[in-house]
């Protein structure tokens, strides 16, 4: 086995598309996004003796106040046809040894991996045997909720359903239609020889309340706009700031949201969804970058609108927004925002995003992070309401191994103590 740096996008992306449906954080675009934020990256490939690619590993070099470390987000990604535990252990060990050398050469304190392996004792033992320890904090979602869009009866390469994956008891309808039963007149979509669940099947599997609220939003006059126009980010961010204030979390900067969207929209893998009331379609406001030196508005004015400029009058017609990220096999609800209102616009917005994912040929719709009762020390209780919303669309829970750290030097323990404190604050 040899480790080589991969700088060929097509080689990297094909392996990623063929072997990863659980996350988008090892896509080529995510690496480009990290570079745009100022983080150096290295894309590693693990090749066998026949020069065939067996694994890929995106390494982000982070030097910050919390510490200096090499970070592997939701990876490495392994060849799914050779996913035996002994090979995974060998692959991780080779990558670890490579990164130890890099860490010592460039003065990093530890290596941090956020695996997309199932949270099982035998997989945890691989990391323990290799000298890793559980990180004091999560970097990305370790428990996600995903909805299968492809009919299980005709799946060519069904995702592996791992032990510990389950459909939430509240999501199982009393009289759910069998997955291979078709309804006359329903949307029976077939793409690339793959048959997808009909809209009726997807709706019938949802919680009754969720179905009702989707229909109610439409009756209330909500319509959904889909766009790849970056100007719509202004609308999203106005809603996002209000959401952050209401839910009491620290929002990402506008620059962060903008650069993430730009990285994925270049390959047509990002889309903005906007929920609009009364079918009104006001023009997307052309504003200066939020918080920029030439901005005429403060962040608070952006959050609440500006009466004197007349902007609040039409910004408030947008009730909810989301940014959906796409890969070849999955769609991800990664960024969301909404007003606090009795109109259930977010339900219709998610339903339209699910249908868009199906029309693109995605096998899965991933709602991203949820609260996990089995991991109360890794997921904030503040996620419980959002989790109830996400699980109402039906689906299955996916639990990944907790983030793993490999210590290079004693400076790590300063990071450990600081992150212990940060995690305590998150879980309050």
The verdict on 365 and 243 lying in the same domain is yes
The SS3 assignment for 388 reads helix
- pLDDT score, position 378: 86
Q: Which residue has the higher pLDDT, 281 or 242?
A: 242
Contact between 292 and 301 under an 8 Å Cβ cutoff? The reply is: no
pLDDT digits (tens, 9 = 90+) for 200-247: 999 999 999 999 999 999 999 999 999 999 999 999 999 999 999 998
Which residues on adjacent β-strands are paired with residue 325?
Answer: 270, 332
- pLDDT score, position 181: 36
- pLDDT score, position 190: 62
The verdict on 96 and 202 lying in the same domain is no
Quick one: angle between helices 28-36 and 254-265, nearest 10? Answer: 140
The verdict on 301 and 382 lying in the same domain is yes
Which residues on adjacent β-strands are paired with residue 147?
Answer: 365
The verdict on 302 and 337 lying in the same domain is yes
Specify burial of residue 332 (Cβ count, 10 A radius: 0-12, 13-18, 19+): buried
The verdict on 270 and 379 lying in the same domain is yes
Rounded Cα–Cα distance for residues 12 and 43 (Å): 8
For 417, the domain range is 2-139+401-427
The verdict on 119 and 261 lying in the same domain is no
The verdict on 127 and 208 lying in the same domain is no
The verdict on 357 and 422 lying in the same domain is no
Antiparallel, parallel or unpaired: β 67-72 and 110-113: parallel
pLDDT digits (tens, 9 = 90+) for 19-33: 988 899 999 999 999
pLDDT at 142 over 50: yes
Q: What percent of the chain clears pLDDT 70, i.e. is strictly above it?
A: 80
Rounded Cα–Cα distance for residues 358 and 191 (Å): 9
Number of domains comprising the chain:
2
Q: How confident is the model at residue 193 (pLDDT cuts 50, 70, 90)?
A: low
Specify burial of residue 187 (Cβ count, 10 A radius: 0-12, 13-18, 19+): middle
Closest alpha carbon to 416 in 42, 136, 89, 215: 136
The verdict on 41 and 173 lying in the same domain is no
Q: What angle do CA 6, 401, 264 make, to 5 degrees?
A: 45
Which CATH number does the domain housing residue 315 bear?
Answer: 3.40.630.30
Closest alpha carbon to 387 in 144, 25, 142: 144
- C-alpha of 355 from chain center: 18
The SS3 assignment for 41 reads strand
């Amino acid at each position: 086995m040899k480790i080589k740096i991969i700088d060929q996008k097509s080689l990297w992306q094909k392996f990623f598309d063929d072997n990863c449906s659980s996350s988008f954080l090892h896509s080529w675009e995510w690496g480009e996004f990290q570079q745009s934020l100022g983080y150096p990256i290295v894309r590693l490939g693990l090749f066998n003796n026949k020069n065939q690619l067996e694994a890929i590993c995106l390494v982000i070099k982070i030097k910050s106040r919390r510490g200096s470390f090499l970070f592997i987000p939701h990876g490495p990604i392994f060849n799914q046809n050779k996913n035996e535990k002994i090979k995974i252990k060998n692959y991780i060990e080779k990558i670890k040894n490579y990164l130890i050398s890099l860490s010592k050469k460039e003065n990093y304190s530890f290596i941090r991996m956020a695996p997309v392996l199932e949270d099982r004792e035998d997989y945890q033992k691989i990391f323990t045997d290799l000298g890793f320890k559980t990180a004091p904090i999560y970097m990305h979602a370790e428990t996600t909720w995903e909805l299968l869009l492809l009919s299980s009866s005709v799946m060519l390469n069904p995702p592996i359903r791992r032990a510990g994956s389950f459909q939430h008891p509240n999501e199982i309808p009393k009289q759910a239609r069998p997955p291979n039963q078709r309804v006359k007149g329903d949307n029976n979509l077939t793409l690339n020889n793959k048959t997808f669940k009909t809209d009726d099947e997807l709706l019938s599997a949802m919680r009754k309340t969720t179905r009702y609220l989707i229909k109610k939003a439409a009756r209330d006059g909500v319509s959904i706009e889909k766009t790849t126009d970056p100007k719509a980010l202004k609308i999203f961010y106005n809603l996002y700031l209000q959401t952050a204030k209401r839910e009491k979390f620290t929002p990402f900067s506008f620059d962060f949201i903008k650069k993430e969207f730009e990285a994925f929209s270049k390959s047509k893998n990002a889309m903005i969804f906007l929920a609009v009331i009364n079918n009104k379609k006001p023009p997307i406001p052309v504003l200066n970058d939020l918080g920029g030196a030439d901005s005429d508005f403060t962040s608070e004015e952006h959050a609440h609108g500006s009466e004197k400029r007349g902007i609040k009058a039409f910004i408030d017609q947008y009730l909810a927004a989301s940014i959906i990220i796409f890969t070849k096999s999955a769609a991800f609800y990664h960024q969301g925002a909404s007003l606090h209102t009795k109109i259930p616009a977010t339900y219709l917005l998610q339903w339209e995003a699910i249908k868009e994912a199906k029309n693109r040929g995605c096998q899965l719709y991933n709602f991203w992070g949820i609260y996990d009762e089995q991991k109360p020390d890794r997921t904030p209780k503040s996620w419980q309401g959002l989790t109830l919303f996400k699980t109402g669309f039906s689906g299955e829970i996916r639990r990944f191994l907790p983030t793993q750290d490999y210590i290079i030097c004693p400076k790590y323990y300063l990071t450990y103590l600081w992150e212990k404190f940060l995690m305590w604050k998150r879980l309050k």
